[in-house]
Amino acid sequence: MEHSFSMGRFVITVLPGDGIGPEVTAEALRVLEAVGHRFGHQFEFHEALVGGAAIDATGSPLPPETLDRCRRSDAILLGAVGGPKWDDPAAPVRPEQGLLGLRKAFDLFANLRPVRAFSPLLHATPLKAGIVQGVDILFVRELTGGLYFGPRQEAGPDGEEAYDTMRYTRAEIERVVRLAARLAQGRRKKLTSVDKANVLAASRLWRRVTEAVVRREFPDLALEHILVDAFAMHLIRRPAVFDVVVTENMFGDILTDEAAVLAGSMGMLPSASLGEAPPGLFEPVHGSAPDIAGRDLANPIGAILSGALMLRYGFGLEAEARAIEQAVEAVLEAGYRTQDIADGEARVVGTKEMGEAIAQYIRSEA
């Protein structure tokens, strides 16, 4: 299809999902509407079902109508999926299958997770402020290969054996490394590749291919290779030295959750899942948090910053993305906090008030 932003408008499929998903997504839309008003853009939102809500309504975590709606969109904004109601890992239909289905349908091979330590939140991390100060890391995680998608066996004939296979091809590695390298060129020109090449054959291939791609196509970058166990230690001891980090699927999954402590809360972290062409999928890193759903307690900043990533990587609107990020920082500087990032001096607010404060800042700067 010809994507609509080439004609001056942006069509976004909104998938609120489960738990706190609808609450945080609503605030992300509020902020995007403020951006549209300030910069003169037309954002057209279409809501659809995914995850547990879709199972309850249709029996499928990714109904055909939702997939069709996404195909006719320029970007997809998702809240969260899952919850105790559907929390049986042996069930044939599970909410998470909706998310995996979206990744597969649009070949979303790269997951971008920026981790930034906002100055007003240095108190919220268990690490010393001096260690966290200045942290601004962009993780690029390969999303459609590796251990999570390789050949597997749930259990042998006697139920005592199971295996998963970490499998990668040169082409899979090349495309995600190439994307990470392009992003590094626009930042500090430093790329860190994380692997386990001293043990895993798949990691040795990863290292060889990464080295070849960067040396051949991106000679201006400083490339370093770090073993995953050493990187996990460095991420806590000296995180500010890293810029763009590229790694395979499982390592990226674990390391980016670890990195959440640098930002002070999982509620602060956005993500973007990208393929070769639109639509990309943009969602906060946190889960559905059913224990606080519907109570106006959730931190909407991860979802709001996911909207900023959508503007930057989905639509190429850098100034608009920066406007959201600046608004988030300004509101934090003004002392607004949701419960997960609160301190003794904070003005503790709910989901809606935090979203409105950020939107109002954007409107006031017009």
Q: Say if 97 falls within a structural domain.
A: yes
pLDDT of res. 7: 56
Catalytic residue among 87, 257, 291, 343: 257
Same domain, 174 and 197: yes
pLDDT of res. 331: 97
Burial 237-260 (b: 16+ CB within 10 A, else e): eebeebbbbbbbbbbbbebbeebb
**Count of CB atoms within 10 A of residue 105's CB?**
15
Residue type, 172: E
Same domain, 273 and 258: no
pLDDT of res. 4: 53
Q: Say if 366 falls within a structural domain.
A: yes
Per-residue CA distances from 297 to 24, 68, 92 (Å): 10, 33, 32
| Pair 119, 88: CB distance under 8 Å | no
Q: Is 164 a catalytic residue?
A: no
The whole-angstrom separation of Cα 248 and Cα 215 is 20
Same domain, 242 and 253: yes
Q: Say if 198 falls within a structural domain.
A: yes
| Pair 102, 70: CB distance under 8 Å | yes
Same domain, 252 and 291: no
What does residue 168 show for φ and ψ, rounded to 5 degrees?
A: -135, 150
Q: Say if 182 falls within a structural domain.
A: yes
Bridge partners, residue 46, by sequence: 13
Q: Which of 237, 263, 289 is the last residue of a domain?
A: 263
Same domain, 246 and 278: no
Q: Is 196 a catalytic residue?
A: yes
Helix (H, G, I), strand (E, B) or coil at 301: helix
Catalytic residue among 196, 243, 313, 336: 196
**DSSP labels for 15-84?**
EEESTTHHHHHHHHHHHHHHHHHHHT-EEEEEE---HHHHHHHHS-SS-HHHHHHHHTSSEEEEEE---G
Catalytic residue among 136, 148, 164, 190: 148
Identify the H or E element spanning 100: helix 96-105
Rg of the Cα atoms in the chain:
20
Catalytic residue among 56, 68, 88, 229: 229
Owner of token pair 């002392």 = 335
pLDDT of res. 153: 86
Same domain, 275 and 258: no
Q: Which of 228, 263, 298 is the last residue of a domain?
A: 263
pLDDT of res. 246: 98
| Stated pTM of the model | 0.93
Q: Is 104 a catalytic residue?
A: no
Closest CA to 12 of 44, 34, 42, 35: 44
Q: Say if 217 falls within a structural domain.
A: yes
Domain harbouring 294, CATH code: 3.40.718.10
Catalytic residue among 107, 136, 164, 253: 253
Helix (H, G, I), strand (E, B) or coil at 111: strand
Work out how many domains the chain is built from and give that number.
Answer: 2
Q: Say if 117 falls within a structural domain.
A: no
Q: Is 336 a catalytic residue?
A: no
Same domain, 195 and 184: yes
pLDDT of res. 206: 98
Q: Say if 281 falls within a structural domain.
A: yes
Q: Is 352 a catalytic residue?
A: no
What is the chain's pLDDT, residue by residue, as a tens digit (366 residues)? Answer: 445 555 569 999 999 999 999 999 999 999 999 999 999 999 999 999 999 999 999 999 999 999 999 999 999 999 999 999 998 877 889 999 999 999 999 999 999 999 999 999 988 888 888 899 999 999 999 999 999 888 988 776 777 888 899 999 999 999 999 999 999 999 999 999 999 999 999 999 999 999 999 999 999 999 999 999 999 999 999 999 999 999 999 999 999 999 999 998 999 999 999 999 999 999 999 999 999 999 999 999 999 999 999 999 999 999 999 999 999 999 999 999 999 999 877 789 999 999 999 999 999 986
Same domain, 132 and 165: yes
pLDDT of res. 2: 44
pLDDT of res. 111: 98
Same domain, 10 and 76: yes
Domain that holds residue 59: 1-112+266-366
Q: Say if 118 falls within a structural domain.
A: no
Same domain, 141 and 258: yes
